[in-house]
Chain A
């Protein structure tokens, strides 16, 4: 299973990918994650690849190769939509974060993103659900919950991987956030 996670630097995409890595490890599957550190993390577009299977060589997902895309921001969903397989699924947060060229007025934030995304796409208001769970920062757990349901993965095992990846004091909020995503 090839999962592409994208968002804006600082949104918590890295943690989501690491939870998936832990899930793979807990289930005796081979896994490779490819992360981006350094300059791009400063509010730039970030992309993380997670590949889970029996024997994974490359840590990269190629264009047209992702089974599922998890986008933490709407514009970023469109930016990497060409990585999706023909029969793949794209889950995106309806949150909009203005990139600097939009902020400066050099160009506009596209208003037709929904129409341009692949047919097999679904929006989730991860930010609102995360706030409902207790913190806007738990949006990644919301998305992980929804992902677990969509891909028909084990609720218990993914929840365990999530709980094993976050500090104890954030457990309650993320537990709720995951459930809100799962039941979305």
Chain B
């Protein structure tokens, strides 16, 4: 039976059919749906981990104890999980261990455009890369086989266009695989110097064997056509190549690390001109040149930025440029939703002219006009450390700088930031935006909202108690819809010595599916534009004054509170 499946769902299906026992992840676009989908299969023990490092460690533990395991994350999540990854490459696995990593060329929902293949190379871990949903399913199953055959973790790499495209997939049955017996093996699993030295030899031998064997892997294949031009490519780029250059000879790599050098050498020798077309870094090209296959082009033709397309390939290789004019019209950037509980925090910080060290989540949108409150965003958890650092540069910053971090992000990597602050005599003020969910990635539960991946009740990490027990002297909880309390609390905490934590607590407005009548603007409106400073998408302004779109309004009441003329009323009173 064929089904239309998202690449991520197809990976989940492939892992399921391959008998996967355990699935763990921290949500991250475009990888989140893999674990969401796996959680729907009762045969799979699935979970959200507090961060990618813990997810990877759980995955290592279950693999060593005999369970086929998949762990998912986005590209920057692999940085967090890099520490265990580099060493599980030494220990190897027991049951298959598949690390599924989703890269985001063009940064649709990411802070950078890093290339997972480079990390895999540094960690000596093999990488396979599917080009469509069918391959997502097939490669997920294959990844378990390679993992077990070569005793190595395997990275299944996808990009946004593969992860978030749907195409037809042939659905199969689950093949039950017994959990393997756990065998105590200190020399293999305890990575202290004497053991690790021996294991490093194994790593090198394994890579050599994989390099040699990859020449015979079905997933690496040559499609010989016109020998004037040969293209080496993998993943989603293969689809663009097939459309842009239907007559070219193509070497499609299913395994992008290590590379099948013998196969590639033969292919390059058989064509007049050979170009490697790869998004992001020149990973394949660089390896070829380092291994004596110099007669290839790549990054001299294509850059390292953004995702590629059929038109781009036609332009760069055939010189065929598609002419078109893009209309010069107002942009439509993403915004905080109408009724978003984060809005009042940024409105107040803006009003108080406080400098904000930001973090990763929906609330990063606090940086865009008209709020323009956030001044730095780097990675998950960075806000607290950056705010502490500001004070180290100049103690005066502690009085007008805050860190802003979401509940899920705080659990992910904010806790150690708090320890840093209390331990090192900081006077930092941290605002935890607790909206009771992991919002940006599509509302996943997290350890601070009392629900597990199946929406079942579980222990709820109490953020207030956590901060108090870590030694924060001043912890307050504020309802962000209460503008007066929000302003008063921020002012007070900024003036206090020692670390302060303000928990701004209210569920994401998208979680409450209530029906609203909305607010309206009366003729008392003096056109002062005070409500426009909220940056609410439900409020617009014309020569007639402010106007509220009732289809978007969620009756949060912020506009009513900032209006000095009482011109905003709730419909129906």
Residues of A within 8 A of B (CB): 8-9, 18, 21-22, 24-25, 30-45, 56-60, 62-64, 75-76, 78-79, 81-82, 97-110, 116, 136
Contacts and interface: CB of A to CB of B under 8 A. Distances in A.
Interface stretch (B136-144, B267-275, B365-373, B463-471): B365-373
Interface stretch (B1-9, B189-197, B208-216, B389-397): B1-9
A99 B330 contact: yes
Interface in B310-353: 310-311, 322-327, 329-337
A37 B33 CA distance: 10
B167 A32 contact: yes
A58 B307 CA distance: 13
23 contacts: A18-B166, A25-B4, A30-B167, A34-B164, A37-B33, A37-B164, A37-B442, A39-B362, A40-B108, A41-B334, A42-B334, A42-B335, A42-B336, A43-B332, A56-B167, A57-B238, A59-B166, A82-B326, A99-B331, A102-B330, A103-B539, A105-B529, A110-B330
Given A99-B330, A100-B333, A30 B239 contact: no
Nearest to A60: B309
Contacts of A22: 4
Given A8-B332, A60-B309, A31 B541 contact: no
A115 to B, nearest CB: 12
Contacts of A98: 537, 540
A76 B332 CA distance: 9
Given A21-B4, A25-B4, A44-B334, A34 B327 contact: no
Given A33-B4, A38-B440, A39-B29, A59 B161 contact: yes
Interface of B: 2-4, 6, 29-30, 32-33, 108-109, 132, 161, 164-168, 236, 238-240, 242-243, 309-311, 322-327, 329-337, 362, 365, 368-370, 440-442, 529, 532, 535-537, 539-541, 549, 551
A116 B332 contact: no
Contacts of B33: 37
A59 B441 CA distance: 22
B98 to A, nearest CB: 22
Top 7 A-B residue pairs of the complex, sorted by shortest distance between their CB atoms: A38-B109, A44-B334, A38-B29, A99-B332, A59-B165, A45-B332, A33-B166
A37 B325 CA distance: 26
Contacts of B239: 57-59
Contact of B540 (A32, A75, A103): A103
B20 to A, nearest CB: 23
A42 B339 CA distance: 12
A40 B4 contact: no
A109 B325 CA distance: 19
B406 to A, nearest CB: 14
B441 A31 contact: no
Contacts of B440: 38-39, 42
A96 to B, nearest CB: 10
B332 A62 contact: no
A8 B551 CA distance: 14
A78 B243 CA distance: 27
A116 B532 CA distance: 30
B532 A40 contact: no
A19 B32 CA distance: 22
A35 B441 CA distance: 14
B365 A42 contact: yes
Given A41-B334, A60-B161, A104 B369 contact: yes
A105 B369 CA distance: 11
Contacts of B539: 103
B342 to A, nearest CB: 11
Contacts of A79: 327, 329, 332
A43 B4 contact: no
A12 B440 CA distance: 17
A42 B539 CA distance: 16
Contacts of B551: 136
A26 to B, nearest CB: 10
A4 B549 CA distance: 27
A100 B327 contact: no
Nearest to B166: A33
A99 B333 contact: yes
B454 to A, nearest CB: 21
A100 B167 contact: no
Nearest to B32: A37
A60 B32 CA distance: 22
A21 B335 contact: no
Nearest to A49: B165
Of B329, B365, B442, B535, the most chain A CB neighbours within 10 A belong to B329
Contact of A31 (B168, B311, B535): B168
Contacts of A33: 4, 165-167
Nearest to A10: B337
A39 B539 CA distance: 21
Contacts of A21: 4, 166
B108 A38 contact: yes
A107 B330 CA distance: 7
Contacts of A100: 332-333, 335, 368-370, 535, 537
A168 to B, nearest CB: 18
A124 to B, nearest CB: 18
B108 to A, nearest CB: 6
Contacts of A42: 334-337, 362, 365, 440
A35 B6 contact: yes
A36 B108 contact: yes
A106 B369 contact: yes
Contacts of B325: 82
Contact of B327 (A8, A30, A82): A82
